[in-house]
Amino acid sequence: MSHKKVAILLSGGGSNMVALLDSMTGDHPARACLVMSNDAEAGGLKKAAVRGITTAAVDHRPFKGDRATFEAELIKPLMAAEPDIVCLAGFMRVLTGDFVTQFQGRMLNIHPSLLPKYKGLHTHARALEAGDAHHGCTVHEVTAALDDGPILGQATVDVLPEDTPDLLAARVLKKEHLLYPAVLRRFAQGDRTPILLS
Ligand code: GRF
């Protein structure tokens, strides 16, 4: 069986990336072909390398906000890996519409809120401030608009009276590690039916 090839982009520790890598074994229809970062020091790159996955980094900082030129470099190792699917997993750079268009319909992102609520940053603090009873995470298809695009899965957690943003973030992150692999497996089989976990 020929596997779908998955490239994963990250900026930080890469716990979601590890959950995705660990899921892609046995009869899973996909395998990782590349883990990439905008930061050569990102902890996730080492974790991927230890697991035998090809890694690459393109530092965004020398480009001083010139997104198009940064992306022209970013796309070189990405295209060379010939991914069928691109997973953003804590990738903290906003991508231009031109970049996203090149992976239209095959780029996923995980966001730590129940979209369409709380696009952008500080999602856990915002859910607490709003007094929400439930919070969670979303995997969605990436489109040119930030944290938008068709929803492919959501997982919820109850907000507890003693919650702080950090406590809530930790509980949501555990759900992310279940949701993203579940969505990727289904997506790689060509099934976009949303998954709901509670
Ligand atoms: C996750 O909370 C993800 O939802 C957000 O960034 C965080 C990345 O964590 N986009 P990790 O690098 O996967 O541990």
pLDDT of res. 28? 98
The stretch 177-188 carries a mean pLDDT of 98
Task: Please identify, by atom number, the ligand 1 atom nearest to the C-alpha of residue 16.
Answer: 13
Nearest to 17 by CA among 133, 42, 167: 42
pLDDT of res. 127? 98
Tokens 């940064």 locate to: 70
pLDDT, tens digit, for every residue of 139-153? Answer: 999 999 989 999 999
Closest residue to atom 14 of ligand 1, CA basis: 15
Query: Ligand 1 mean position to 10 CA, how many Å?
Result: 8
Instruction: Name the pairing type of β-strands 134-141 and 151-158.
Output: antiparallel
The stretch 104-122 carries a mean pLDDT of 97
Q: What is the pTM of this model?
A: 0.97
The stretch 89-118 carries a mean pLDDT of 97
Q: Is residue 135 annotated as part of the catalytic site, yes or no?
A: no
Measured on CA atoms in the order 148, 30, 74, 14, is the torsion positive or negative? Answer: positive
Please say if the pLDDT value at position 1 is more than 80: no
pLDDT, tens digit, for every residue of 129-139? Answer: 999 999 999 99
Tokens 């497996």 locate to: 185
pLDDT, tens digit, for every residue of 45-92? Answer: 999 999 999 999 999 999 999 999 999 999 999 999 999 999 999 999
Best of 8, 110, 168 for a ligand 1 pocket test (most atoms within 8 Å of beta carbon): 110
